[in-house]
Chain A
Amino acid sequence: MTTMTVQGSRRRKQGAFRRGVRRNLTAYGFLCGALICFAFFSWYPMVREILLSFQQTNFVDPPTWVGLENFRTVTEDSAFADAWINTAVFTGLALVFGYAVPFVAAIVLNELRHAKAYLRFVVYLPVMLPPAVGVLLFKWFYDPGPGLFNQILDLVHLPALSWLDSADTALISLVIVSTWMNLGTGTLIYLAALQSIPGELYEAAELDGAGLFKRVWHVTIPQTKLILLVMLLLQIVATMQVFIEPYLLTGGGPENATLTVAYLMYQYAFNFGDFGAGGALGLMLMLVLMVFSAFYLRISRDNQS
């Protein structure tokens, strides 16, 4: 009797074990495509980014370790400070426009009862354009002679600007393009968040005698606080990587006025052939952006659990 049950349970256990092995094999069979793609194109490059920044390589001989040499090359370059300052200013300006404007737009759109579908469509239209098209379109608008923007300035009797050609206005010109292309994303995300605010809160605030702006300040903003914070971090991470605008519009000039960190990294690698120095710069950018990413991760985790 006893021996039989022991055997039986052992057989059952073996069966369960075998089923478990088979289930795991099937699962990893399904996963292998993803594992290969991630390994080659995400995980390995992440590790290699760190190696790259401490190595000197010419792609013929095996790479040599150079310690902090690449970091010295990069930081001693006079363009280094320019690139970081420009990137910070770009990110700051892009935040002022790209963060506040969509929020206000979303609040106004949320109150409107007509033309909603049209407005939502129109605000997202530039986001759908390939960025290269948007940037080249604005390059044409910025044309210092008969460009659209100077023609408009002329219509209202303002002096023409040299837009991309002057060190004073070049960076802000890039911010304008970037904001125009990306405004729709923020607006629609805020709009979705605003629509989940219960109307009773506004009613209660109104009964307490809160005016329009007080209602926005005490109801709308606290209710969307989380999404505002998340968008702030995502925007910082996104705009600090700015590359395509300086690449296509100004080439970093005039006088390094639009040189950004990502663009300088590209220059080191593909114009000067120094992948080590480019990697060092990329690693610095990564460390800065990881701080914001970590905040983002923490917020989203705290709020989902």
Chain B
Amino acid sequence: MATTNAPPAGTKPPAGTKNAGRPPARARVRTGQSRRRRNAITAWLFALPFVLIFGVFMLGPLLSSFLMSFTDFTSRDIENPFAVGFVGLEQYAALFRNPQFLHSVLNTAYFVVVGIPLTTILALALAVALNNGISRFRTAFRVGFYTPVVTSIVAVAVVWRFILQPDGLLNVILGWVGIAGPDWLNSTTWSMPALIMMAVWRNLGTLMIIFLAGLQAVPGDILEAAEVDGANAWQRFMKITLPMLRPTLLLGTVLLSVGFLQFFEEPFVMTKGGPLDSTLSVSYFTYNQFGFGKYGLASAASYVLFVAIALLSLLQFRALRSKD
């Protein structure tokens, strides 16, 4: 901040600014400040529409949800929200005593832990295939793999429900290779694998595009040099491409995990969380508690999910920073 009237000792005044004819320093500083203030007001005016919407519809609800998770707020309290009782950590305690919630946590973890590696490996294989030696139909392949990403989950879930019938398309195809497929969506064992299969199908394209961008940044001359030195394709991939791709891999998988943690539409449309809660996710549990009018409990459950997602995102930032 330029608050001193005289230039600091040891520095010459800039050329062209002789003391003679110069306005008093104090006045100059004041105009500087008022201009700064005017600029600040302009800047905040530019930010105003966003800040208003953001504050009212995101930040406000985020904080209210946090406060709500310490109360016994129910749908009946909508009339008079300020009269609800503060219950401290009781909602969180109730959450971790609730077998259905614990079940939903395990289901969500199952979904993430199985779904993410599967998607990652398949997407990497496809990205490498697209990056190497394919010049024709490249765009067509890219569009093809990406199509499920742009479509509404609800719409494709309807189709998958049809495909996953006991005598549906998937089991017919499995029958060609001699496998008797299960009644996917009515089996507690197979309902989750079925939803994972669908999620992998749907998210492959996103990850593939991210990996493709990473692959195209691997310098060709290093690969060339390794090839001259006698490294085969597999060695080049394992020793050069994969290490250089690590930040991209990490970014892609973390972004996907954040999405997977919010798993809701698939079980909502396909299984209603069943059979026997085998596909009930944390988001779905929250939605159900909201439906029962238990807003306090729903908020606590959503905050548990939020903390998990925030931790993952921080991991992502950390990973990106260590890239430099």
A binds B: no
Q: Chain B residues in contact with chain A, CB under 8 A? A: none
Q: Chain A residues in contact with chain B, CB under 8 A? A: none
